[in-house]
Amino acid sequence: MNKEMPEDGPYFYQPQALTCTFEEGLKWFRENYGQCVQRGHVPCNLPETLEEIKSQLLKKNAFTAPLEINADEFDQYKGQAGYTRFYPGYYPGNLEEKSLEHFISFKILDFKGTDVFVDIASEGSPLPEIVRRLTGAQAFAQDIMYPPGIQGHSIGGDACDLPVPDNFFTKATVTCSLEHFEGNGDTKLFQELARVMKPEGQVCVVPLYLNSYAATLADPRYGYMFKVSYDSDSAIHLVENWGNRHGRFYSVETLWKRIVVPTSASFRFSFYSIGGIILDRNVYARHVLLAVRT
């Protein structure tokens, strides 16, 4: 994750203790952001929203391919990865979503033993170890919460300033983390990925959080506690007990403005829509972004 430093100290993604209430946070948001503040989740997965997103992508002449998830293949992957055997404490309440993100990464990136892979904003994810064990690739986990620098298979520090040389990686994933890059951190991340990816290197973002309009999801307690800065062109959706300070949902226009246009000379972008399995409230991935280094 990137380092957007609040005035009162270092970055904290999910601090153990909060010093304010939901109502205090809600008051702060309304005083600072006014009419764009609303309560409730972003309606990103409603059928009408998904159709509008598809329409917006078509207007950009963006190629959107269906990514059909075969249930038997997914089950086979989960057995090989060994989540319950090797990682019993990893997201026990939402393992279906997290393992799906990893499965999609395997399908799209097609890891080889010669790859040098990094999982950006890994937050303790087993994906790098699974990639090493199943494919023999060299695989790193990166996160701001890890000790600075490269320590074995871990890379600590700011994802927008990686301690590796140019053209170092062949594959990268950003799984359920791009939305947490605050300020211009998402743009800076892709500019840094353009530096560290080899030619034809691939970056997979899953889920890519899209909505029919630009929106940001927040738990108001965290936003108030750290005085987080939110996008001026975004609606703000507040959800009590969500437990995170910032979750950006792109409209197609803001995705182009923040990611595609600034790095269009460095990447070819394509999009996937996920289907083929029963998607319930615990499986929220609907879109995937693939960026290929030119």
What does the pLDDT read at residue 8? 43
Please state, in angstroms and as integers, the Cα–Cα distance from residue 277 to each residue in 81, 107, 231, following that order: 19, 15, 34
Q: Tens of pLDDT along 241-270?
A: 999 999 999 999 999 999 999 999 999 999
Helices 71-81 and 127-135, interaxial angle, to 10°? 90
pLDDT score of 6 more than 60: no
pLDDT band for 280, please (50, 70, 90 cuts). Answer: low
Domain count, the chain: 1
Q: Tens of pLDDT along 190-227?
A: 999 999 999 999 999 999 999 999 999 999 999 998 88
Q: Is residue 14 one of the residues assigned to a domain? A: no
Q: Is residue 188 one of the residues assigned to a domain? A: yes
pLDDT score of 281 more than 70: no
What does the pLDDT read at residue 12? 64
Q: Is residue 266 one of the residues assigned to a domain? A: yes
This prediction's pTM? 0.93
Q: Do residues 185 and 213 touch, judged by C-beta distance below 8 A?
A: no
Q: Is residue 17 one of the residues assigned to a domain? A: no
CATH number, domain with residue 86: 3.40.50.150
For 42-67, b/e burial (b = at least 16 CB within 10 A) is bebbeeebbebbbebbeeeebebeeb
Percentage with pLDDT > 70 across the chain: 93
Q: Is residue 33 one of the residues assigned to a domain? A: no
Residue 179: count of CB within 10 angstroms of its CB: 20
Which has more confidence, 232 or 277?
Answer: 232
Q: Is residue 39 one of the residues assigned to a domain? A: no
pLDDT score of 184 more than 60: yes
If residue 290 lies in a helix (H) or strand (E), which one and from where to where? strand 287-293
pLDDT score of 7 more than 60: no
What does the pLDDT read at residue 214? 98
Percentage with pLDDT > 90 across the chain: 86
* Averaged pLDDT score across all residues of the chain: 92
Q: Tens of pLDDT along 20-55?
A: 899 999 999 999 999 899 999 999 999 999 999 999
pLDDT band for 156, please (50, 70, 90 cuts). Answer: very high
What are the residues whose beta carbons fall under 8 Å from the beta carbon of 17, sequence distance 6 or more? none
What does the pLDDT read at residue 284? 86
Q: Which residues form the domain of 134?
A: 44-214+250-293
What does the pLDDT read at residue 213? 98
What does the pLDDT read at residue 13? 64
Q: Is residue 220 one of the residues assigned to a domain? A: no
